[in-house]
Structure 1
């Protein structure tokens, strides 16, 4: 399962960080970055599988020519977003670069992490809108599939960094808590939309490619 939930923030911050003499926060930094990459890979596989299943359905019913442009548009959306906006953070490399730059690259990686959890939601929203157009034309669904981004994840790295600086690190505790727990706010919305998509596919025929 790539939608990872970590040990509770309180246990991690107030217990494990101290017991391990500061080693566990390094482990957690890596795991947070890796969690984003695993989620990214799963979303890309899911989108491509849904597109492939849509193609199969259209071909089996002789409707592929009529839906070709819309399906290609959907495929192009996924390709462009994952090549441009959702490049992997590469947890191992990011951790190494953070060490040799004395933490400077860690700020860059954290910025990319925060940006990812917001922008992947915008991709999900756009994908579902375009998929709904295709599926409505194919007769797979009658009502559009919708996804509402979790606005709380639209956070400013600059603001969090500034507040952490002016409060001498105190606000950094709040920041760390949000980095730890924010993705878990997204999971229920994503799973709900996934269920709607997969149930629609099961109802009309072809199994989702593995």
Structure 2
């Protein structure tokens, strides 16, 4: 029963992607229509939504990772293999905790928007830097998590082949270079940069969702029947 509940938690955080992994209105409609029709107000709205999207994704990943680890512990315990995997799973849990406390701190969209206003946009640059850094680094954490989990699951006999995740190289960009190019081109490159900020997360969603589906389907196959 505890194994079923653990798998249900994984299922819950996988399906939360319907609301957290958001695809925004097309960039062309946003930039060339909505931003002008609303006299720039929608630009502020979109700035907030982009930051908040990162925080929602962050929270879902953290809960998902912990749910997968808990389901792994329950499986190991119910199959008399907890002693063999105890250290590995605890190390993986520490890995998740440390990364989310140190590398993936929440951007806090509301606070960032407020600070951007009172600093006349200066903090907006800091928030944008953190946003770019987040979408790249969360992929590295994702890759490391699956590498470590695959080793443990192989020991437990849950799977024969590792679960793989490949980061999207295009998301590894330099904030300083983008800022400089936007400055020297009098804002023209800033349009390209804005497009990237708008669409970058959508490039990694398919890879993230594919890995999640593999994990969830594997847990369903080795445990009690889970309601669809």
TM-score w.r.t. the length of structure 1 is 0.98
For 2:206 and 2:144, locate their aligned partners in 1 and report how far apart those are by CA, in whole Å.
18
* Distance change >3 Å, CA 165–CA 145, structure 1 → 2: same
Q: Deviations over 1:23-77 (max 9, x none)?
A: 0000000000000000001101100100000000000011101101100111011
1:90 maps to what in 2?
108
Structure 1 pair 206–49 and aligned structure 2 pair: CA distance change class (3 A): farther
Partner of 2:60: 42
**Distance across 2 between alignment mates of 1:51 and 1:206:** 17
Match of 1:107 in 2: 125
Q: How many residues align?
A: 208
Of 80, 97, 118, 2:136 maps to 118
Tell me the distance in 2 between the aligned counterparts of 1:57 and 1:154.
37
3-state SS in 2 of match to 1:87: coil
Matches of 1:156 and 1:206, distance apart in 2? 47
Closer, same or farther: CA 120–201 of 1 in aligned 2, 3 Å: same
The alpha carbon displacement at 1:207 in A equals: 7.4
TM-score normalised by length of structure 2: 0.90
List aligned pairs for 1:155-166, cutoff 5 A. Answer: 155-166=173-184
Q: Is the 8 A contact 1:53 1:206 kept in 2?
A: no
Residue of structure 2 equivalent to 1:141: 159
- Corresponding residue for residue 145 of structure 2: 127
5+ residue gaps in structure 2?
1-18
| Partner of residue 202, structure 2 | 184
Q: Give the corresponding residue for 2:79.
A: 61
> Contact 1:2–1:38 at 8 Å: present in 2 too?
yes
1:36/1:116 contact within 8 Å kept: yes
Distance 1:31 1:207, change over 3 A: farther
Is the contact made by 1:121 and 1:149 (CA closer than 8 Å) also made in structure 2?
yes
User: How many angstroms apart in 2 are the aligned matches of 1:122 and 1:155?
Assistant: 14
Q: C-alpha deviations, 1:149-174, integer Å up to 9, x for none?
A: 00011111011000000001110000
Assess if the C-alpha contact under 8 Å between 1:57 and 1:206 holds in 2. no
Q: Is the 8 A contact 1:201 1:207 kept in 2?
A: no
Distance 1:184 1:64 in 2: 38
Shift of 1:206: 5.3
Counterpart CA distance in 1 for 2:222 and 2:168 is: 30
